Amino acid sequence: MEGIKKDMANQRNDSTTEIWEEQLSLFDDKNVLLNTGTSELIRLNLEGARKAFQSYRDLYRNGNNIEVKLEITHFLFDGFAQCPADSPEEPVYLYRLWNSFEEFASETSGNAGSLVSGIKDSFFKRIIEAIDRWDLTDVPFFFDTIPMGFLYMEAGNIDQAISSLQASLPVTENNAALYGYLGDAYILRDETEVARRCYREALLADAGSIDWNYLKDEELASLREELMETFDMDEPLAAEWLPTHAFIRGLLTSKTLRLKEEMKYFVDEYQELRKAYSRERDSRIGAKLFIRSIILCDNEPLIKLIKGIELIEIRKKMKEIDAELFAQYMKCIKNRKPRQTPS
């Protein structure tokens, strides 16, 4: 009798084990289909992604945002099917398709961000392949205003992005967006100090032309948000005041003017802004004037070589524009300057 009970117990255990293994196998298949589809989608193997997602939907109906993933796959599948692969317009078409896809994915599901981010490298690598195929790699700007280096950066090729962006600088004078993207590329290469010199040049050239949605320096981006929230500035005004506040907080360094000609050009720009501020008292002009005053003060030895400008007058104007910020600036430079020992 005892032996019969043991046999029955073993049979129950075997049956339970079989059921569990069968369920586990189904669970594994479920994960395999989903992971395979996602992996193929990220690699832009859209036919493989579509088959895996459809199989998953047919078997399991719901879950894991499968309909959203299928919609994204179908959108890209149809988009690539219309690509003019036999025309030099191919790279431009692909770039426009990416912009349309980002907008579509955002409207389709707010939860698709990580998936879109995963697709991005593959997509931009495909754009770069098309650019190479049509021998457009030496063109500094793609699609009129998009630096070629930006595309390399989006494709994850940071070294080539930096080389391309640097080569584009002489082609266009004081291009703020270009300097901004170069700063982004250096941030991605963990060279923050170099990056911030690029951001400084971008801010001086035209703070409003920087791609603020892309900015990779989290501290500068956070400071801009703080200026808008704490000081109740709009976006353009916050962008103009950013370099001054960043300088005072030690995030940005001042600009060194090395030649008399460079100093004269900078002084001329300063004087024009000073006249404009006297006429309009516009806060954005005041912000431009304030950061340039900081740079002139930091280049005091060269000021003596330029007629019509004096350090004391520069500082008076800074105090007039924003007395509190001027006090912070004076405290900042006092703390940074090494104490002189008596001779």
Q: Would you list the domain boundaries of the chain? A: 254-337
34 contact partners, CB below 8 Å, separation of at least 6: 52, 56, 64, 66
pLDDT of residue 3: 52
Backbone phi and psi for residue 212, each to the nearest 5 degrees, phi listed first: -70, -25
Query: Tens digit of pLDDT for each residue in 145-164?
Result: 889 999 999 999 999 999 99
pLDDT of residue 307: 87
CA–CA separation, 235 and 111 (whole Å):
27
How far CA 294 is from CA of 83, 133, 140, 297, 339, in Å, comes to 51, 48, 33, 5, 20
Q: What share of the chain is helix, strand, coil (3-state, %, to 5)?
A: 75, 0, 25
Better-predicted residue by pLDDT, 198 or 22: 198
What is the average pLDDT across 32-51?
A: 95
pTM of the entire predicted model: 0.84
Cα 9 to chain centroid distance, Å, stands at 63
Residue given tokens 């894991």 in the structure block: 64
Mean pLDDT of the chain: 88
Query: Tens digit of pLDDT for each residue in 79-118?
Result: 999 999 999 999 999 999 999 999 999 888 766 778 898 9
CA–CA separation, 79 and 101 (whole Å):
9
| Three-class SS state of 142 | strand
Query: Tens digit of pLDDT for each residue in 279-313?
Result: 999 999 999 999 999 999 999 998 888 888 999 99
pLDDT of residue 84: 96
Strand ranges, E, within the chain: 141-142, 146-147
State the first-to-last Cα distance of the chain, in angstroms, to the nearest integer.
109
CA–CA separation, 17 and 14 (whole Å):
5
Paired residues of 147 in beta bridges:
141
Q: Give 340's pLDDT tier (boundaries 50, 70, 90).
A: very low
- In this structure, the number of other CB atoms found within 10 A of the CB of residue 59 comes to 11
